[in-house]
A and B are shown apart, each in its own frame.
Chain A
């Protein structure tokens, strides 16, 4: 009786979801994430529903299985394939699908999905001696088959333990699909290597609309403006400005006639926020050696920190909405003008180590989030819905 009451209450609460984004699923994942009936979790341990939006690579299937197994019972999965919809059509009802799945598994916990990967214990603790004792490291031996972090000299001449780990394809703070092997000392990244590039965003439905040459320049400008805002939202969320991030996302869905006004309101809120400059000034600076590879040109002492990128993104959104709303014929702008630093996912391998090395982990994550990956259309091809 009490359990039924609790279950009824649980069903009314926002569904805890862990979202795995694949190729073509970025739009739907973003819609789901900012839905008020969905609580997008940062870790599968707090989630009950695993949503796989888009297509994943064959080599990532084991990662999806592991993320699934890391969710506590009762759990369920929703596989969502992207559908290209014409602009202006109603967004999909993925959130209601997810909520229904959650309700079903709550009502009958025996339908909770079983483990996919075998429940194999890690290798036993093994040292050098006959009884498993001895060896390097704090406790001696190789605990559970995994070596301990050993002391190494860092760049400042100190000696700290160098911890190596590989952050998998579906870390919520990294671009989806990126597998990054890092070595950190303390919190500072000393080495970084891209094992697998992030998923391409070329087949997003929103980007297909952008590269359509026959579009009305005003609509094109408005779509670019909305794209800027949808790009701004996750960066603000990562910095810690959740409500402003949600506001940015909702502003991107404003009707055409109200878009400019909402953008100006958002800009005012961000400008008056005392914490935003503190969180973003001189944070996430792209070294000047990487600017050419990213397609950026440095003017005098301009610092490419996170504050600069956020404010320029907001200014671009405002300018494009202004273009669209102005009575004179709006200027037709290319995606390349709006995002000069758009970087091919595959070219990331050469640039990323130089950008990340020397940064603290959190700063590195925010720098990565602020790089617009894979927005450029390759020459001579057109994405057809």
Chain B
């Protein structure tokens, strides 16, 4: 156990040391970019606006809906496996579960969560 620990430590130090050493060797010739080199290439022009812009997260409401109904499916998968053995009791329990969730569906439908526009 001791030998393994020693070996592990040596290898770890060697790996870290070599990576840091390689980084040092590579960064020796590094020159700070000038003002012209720090801006995006625009064919010779200077940028007049900042390049950051926001993009709409259009998939967000779809993602929320997906996650909600995916959790419903997660309950249904093991239920499907034990359904035949458990008989009608399993059916009634799943029915209660689905009715609770369908209340959520009805609410979402009324609020327009399923409308794509």
Q: Is B43 touching A121 in the complex (CB atoms < 8 A)?
A: no
Residues of A within 8 A of B56 (CB): 158-160
Q: Say yes or no: B44 contacts A168, CB within 8 Å.
A: yes
Quick check: which of B4-12, B19-27, B46-54, B75-83 contacts chain A, the rest being far away? B46-54
Query: Cβ of A70 and Cβ of B41 under 8 Å apart?
Result: yes
Q: Is the interface of A mostly helix, strand, loop or mixed?
A: loop
B35: Cβ under 8 A from any A Cβ: yes
A63 partner residues in chain B, CB cutoff 8 A: 43-45
A146 touches B54 (CB 8 A): no
Decide if A105 is an interface residue (CB 8 Å cutoff).
Answer: no
Is A147 a contact partner of B50 (Cβ separation < 8 A)? yes
Q: Is B42 an interface residue (CB 8 A)?
A: yes
Contact status A120-B45, CB under 8 Å? no
Segment at the B interface, from A28-36, A169-177, A205-213, A235-243 = A169-177
Q: A66-B36, A186-B55 are in contact. Are A149 and B49 (CB under 8 A)?
A: yes
Q: What residues of chain A lie closer than 8 Å to B43, measured between beta carbons?
A: 63, 67, 167-172, 174, 179
Interface size counted on chain B using CB atoms at 8 A: 22
Contact B44 A170 (CB under 8 A): yes
B85 at the interface (CB under 8 A from A): no
Contact B54 A161 (CB under 8 A): yes
Q: A148 CA to B51 CA in the complex, in Å?
A: 7
Count residues on chain A whose CB falls below 8 Å from chain B CBs: 46
Other-chain contact of A119, B34, B45, B46, B53 (Cβ < 8 Å): B34
Residues of A41-98 contacting chain B, CB below 8 A: 43-45, 60, 62-64, 66-67, 69-70, 72-73
The verdict on A115 contacting chain B, using a C-beta distance below 8 Å, is: yes
> Which residues does chain A contribute within 8 Å of B31, judged by CB atoms?
73
The reply on B63 being an interface residue by CB < 8 A is no
Say whether B37 contacts A161, CB under 8 Å. Answer: no
Interface residues of B (CB under 8 A from A): 31, 34-37, 39, 41-56
User: Which residue of chain B has its CB nearest to the CB of A142?
Assistant: B50
CB distance from B38 to the nearest CB of A (A): 8
Q: With a CB–CB cut-off of 8 A, which chain B residues contact A179?
A: 43, 45
9 A-B contact pairs sorted by A residue (CB < 8 Å): A69-B34, A69-B36, A119-B34, A146-B48, A147-B49, A148-B49, A164-B48, A168-B44, A186-B55
Residues of A near any B CB (own CB < 8 A): 43-45, 60, 62-64, 66-67, 69-70, 72-73, 115, 117-122, 137-138, 143-144, 146-149, 151, 158-161, 163-172, 174, 179, 186
Chain B residues within an 8 Å CB radius of A171: 42-44
Residues of chain B within 8 A of A66, CB atoms compared: 36, 44-46
A166→B34 contact, CB < 8 A: no
Q: Are B37 and A69 in contact (CB under 8 A)?
A: yes
Q: Which residues of A contact B36 (CB under 8 A)?
A: 66, 69-70, 115, 117, 119
Picked from A70, A121, A148, the residue with its CB within 8 Å of the CB of B50 is A148
CB distance from B8 to the nearest CB of A (A): 34
B34 cross-chain contacts in A, Cβ below 8 A: 69, 115, 119
Query: How far is A166 from B44 in the complex, measured between Cα atoms in Å?
Result: 10
A73 CA to B34 CA in the complex, in Å? 11
Extra 13 A-B pairs, beta carbons < 8 Å, given A148-B52, A165-B48, A169-B43: A72-B37, A148-B50, A149-B50, A159-B56, A161-B55, A165-B42, A166-B48, A167-B43, A168-B44, A168-B45, A171-B42, A171-B44, A179-B45
Nearest chain B residue, comparing its CB with the CB of A72? B37
Nearest first, the 3 closest Cβ-Cβ pairs linking A and B are: A63-B44, A171-B43, A168-B45
